[in-house]
């Protein structure tokens, strides 16, 4: 294929309409030739494949989609592609940069046109794991239709105000309460013509572990947790600056990811290990294992208090982990990051330091019915110590918070609201910015438990306007025994130390002790230095994979698994919120949860059965426990199919 060159003898007009017309016509011809080479235009990722090579301003990719800093460049309207429109004809009005001059297609463009004619056809109901577009099921990665550019999405302040008819989402990606994206009951279904429990063919796409389809770099995703995100995070990867063009989102290669996790490549009870207990803890990639091992074999030393080389290296690694954590959470200053053992210790720290200082008799602490015990018990201890009262936001039978009841609970007596970002037992994604805005309007502070959100969703504590945010390293592919507390600088500065010991002091006499500033005053004694090194390596790994890519993959996998499990005879799903992440809790009446878990273990499948340290949430559904498969980005649809097949084959009385 060749592209006609501009005749050097032709009159050259001033830049403007003539230049635009030339570029438009040139790229239109190129697109027509590309689509002409394919027997099925809808199967050709032509424009998606060549888009990164076309000279144009920085593409309008949402910041969270790329996991990189936002820029001041205004959005560029996306162009309809043949694959995403009902009209099979190729669009002829393709925008191009007025300054661009494309003379000869690059080798990459030529190769993108080499589409084999014998490629296997995809099933009509699934396309690389994504549902195809229909009037009732919007495209997963829709492109903008029409010639007029869309009005930019207006994101309101972190006040909790919302428009009930709006589909807008908050800065960090959560849906606005009562918007269609939060309250919609539309579901994606997979047509099945085969008998129930007939796996894997009833669920498998042509290649159940294939990469996701090519994504047009100028189209925006329709995932509730990516839409509207403005996370500004400097790249943790060497060689990438914090400014400039945002790179395109690449296809997610789950098999390449799985090769990074050595524990997954073993057999348990004669079957390949299928790890579906990710809500309890995640497995560790080679990068984390190697970083921790390297620290102990090369750099091991205590930090901050020595003048020799190993201590200097150890200190630099430790503080680099703090900076990476700041970037990961979108905090403004590394001094707002306190290292702790995990989420549990972080909540206890806030309860005993901030709480003892700011909560008194008659004051109220608001929790939710979804909470993990680690976000209940510390507040009960505080309430007993100071004479405060615990108030609880109820949930509906889908496992979603009833925010109208939350509004009724708020009062001048409310001092602290502590809420899970994502429920560990049901997977419900809570609209935390709405919760934060309402609390702030009543003068209350908010702690967000991010133990279950950080492994699955982009997070930005600054945009969220959280006062405190906590998470555990072992939930995000880092070692056990390490976690972090984010606190706003002014709050941390005013809080007293929780524990006393070495390093957290400026001066000590028998008459008094002068404490260091935050975060050191909360980090008494020798910290888990290797754990921080491993946490930093895990964050490096997540950014190298791409948090938006893994979030999109997991979201599709969760939808697929939800539909697949529905054919298991007698199954009762527990937690059916519209917005969920990772968790697939269920019971099968007549079969004990322990029996189900043991049966799955015989086939190499690891799931959690129990109350998941969330008894109030379980008891809302009249239960004391559930079976809880939970997903991560290294799980596959083949593993889901195996889970369904084994459940269907379980002996029943």
User: Which residues carry out catalysis?
Assistant: 613
Cis peptide bond prior to 519, omega within 30° of 0: yes
3-state secondary structure of 378: helix
Cross-strand partners of 484: 339, 471
Say if CB 392 and CB 370 are below 8 A apart: no
Residue showing tokens 């239960």: 623
Q: How far apart are CA 170 and CA 177, in angstroms?
A: 10
Q: How far apart are CA 475 and CA 472, in angstroms?
A: 6
Say if CB 249 and CB 68 are below 8 A apart: no
CB atoms inside a 10 Å sphere around CB 536: 25
Instruction: Mention every residue, 6+ apart, whose C-beta is less than 8 A from residue 598.
Output: none
Structure tokens at 234: 């400097």
Q: Identify the H or E element spanning 415.
A: strand 414-420
Residue 172 burial (C-beta neighbours within 10 Å; 0-12, 13-18, 19+)? buried
Q: How far is CA 86 from CA 42, 133, 543, 607, in A?
A: 10, 10, 36, 43
3-state secondary structure of 393: strand
Structure tokens at 49: 């494949």
Q: How far is CA 244 from CA 58, 63, 70, 215, in A?
A: 8, 12, 9, 21
**Of 567, 585, 562, nearest in space to 575 by CA:** 585
CA atoms within 13 A on the CB side of 477: 30
Say if CB 123 and CB 47 are below 8 A apart: no
Cross-strand partners of 509: none
Which DSSP state fits 161? Answer: -
**Of 579, 554, 552, nearest in space to 430 by CA:** 579
């Amino acid at each position: 294929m060749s592209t006609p060159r501009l005749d050097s003898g032709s009159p050259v007009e001033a830049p403007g309409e003539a230049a635009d017309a030339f570029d438009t016509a040139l790229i239109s011809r190129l697109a027509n030739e590309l689509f002409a080479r394919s027997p099925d235009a809808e199967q050709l990722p032509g424009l998606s494949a060549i888009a990164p090579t076309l000279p144009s301003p920085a593409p309008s990719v949402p910041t969270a989609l790329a996991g990189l800093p936002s820029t001041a460049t205004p959005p560029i309207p996306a162009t309809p592609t043949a694959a995403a429109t009902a009209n099979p004809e190729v669009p002829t009005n393709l925008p191009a940069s007025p300054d661009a001059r494309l003379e000869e297609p690059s080798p990459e463009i030529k190769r993108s046109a080499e589409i084999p004619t014998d490629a296997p056809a995809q099933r009509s109901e699934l396309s690389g794991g994504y549902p195809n577009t229909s009037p009732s099921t919007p495209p997963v990665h829709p492109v903008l239709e029409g010639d007029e550019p869309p009005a930019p999405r207006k994101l309101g302040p972190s006040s909790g105000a919302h428009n009930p008819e709006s589909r807008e989402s908050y800065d960090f990606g959560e849906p606005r309460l009562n918007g269609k994206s939060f309250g919609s009951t539309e579901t994606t279904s997979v047509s099945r013509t085969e008998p129930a429990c007939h796996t894997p063919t009833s669920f498998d796409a042509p290649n159940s572990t294939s990469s996701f389809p090519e994504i047009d770099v100028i189209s925006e995703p329709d995932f509730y947790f990516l839409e509207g995100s403005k996370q500004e995070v400097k790249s943790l990867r060497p060689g990438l600056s914090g400014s400039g063009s945002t790179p395109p989102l690449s296809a997610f290669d789950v098999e390449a990811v799985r090769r990074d996790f050595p524990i997954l490549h073993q057999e348990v009870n004669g079957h390949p290990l299928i790890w579906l207990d990710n809500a309890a803890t995640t497995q560790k990639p080679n990068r984390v294992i190697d970083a921790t091992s390297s620290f102990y074999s090369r750099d091991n030393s205590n930090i901050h208090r020595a003048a020799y080389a190993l201590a200097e290296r150890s200190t630099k690694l430790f503080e680099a982990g703090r900076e990476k954590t700041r970037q990961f959470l979108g905090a403004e200053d590394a001094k707002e990051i306190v290292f702790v053992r995990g989420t549990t210790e972080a909540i206890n720290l806030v309860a005993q330091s901030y709480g003892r200082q700011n909560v008194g008799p008659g004051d109220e602490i608001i929790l939710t019915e979804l909470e993990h015990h680690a976000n209940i018990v510390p507040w009960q201890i505080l309430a007993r110590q100071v004479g405060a009262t615990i108030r609880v936001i109820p949930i509906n039978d889908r496992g979603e918070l009833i925010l109208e009841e939350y509004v009724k609970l708020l009062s001048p007596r409310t001092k602290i609201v502590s809420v899970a970002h994502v429920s560990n037992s049901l997977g419900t994604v809570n609209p935390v910015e709405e919760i934060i805005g309402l609390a702030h309007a009543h003068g209350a502070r908010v702690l967000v438990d991010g133990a279950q959100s950080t492994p699955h969703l982009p997070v930005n504590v600054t945009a969220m306007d959280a006062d405190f945010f906590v998470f555990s390293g072992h939930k995000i592919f880092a070692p056990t025994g390490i976690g972090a507390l984010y606190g706003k600088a002014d709050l941390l500065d005013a809080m007293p130390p929780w524990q006393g010991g070495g390093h957290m002091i400026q001066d000590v006499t028998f008459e008094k002790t002068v404490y260091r500033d935050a975060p050191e005053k909360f980090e008494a004694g020798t910290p888990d230095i290797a754990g921080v090194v491993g946490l930093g390596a895990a964050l490096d790994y997540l950014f190298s994979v791409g948090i938006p890519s893994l979030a999109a993959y997991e979201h599709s996998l969760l939808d697929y698994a939800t539909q697949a499990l529905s054919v298991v005879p007698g199954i009762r799903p527990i937690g059916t919120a519209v917005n969920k992440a990772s968790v697939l809790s269920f019971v099968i009446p007549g079969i004990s949860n322990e029996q189900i878990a043991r049966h799955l273990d015989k086939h190499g499948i690891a799931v959690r059965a129990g109350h998941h340290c969330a008894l109030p949430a379980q008891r809302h559904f009249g239960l004391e426990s559930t079976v809880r498969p939970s997903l991560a980005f290294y799980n596959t649809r083949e593993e889901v199919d195996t889970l369904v097949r084994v459940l269907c084959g379980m002996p029943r009385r």
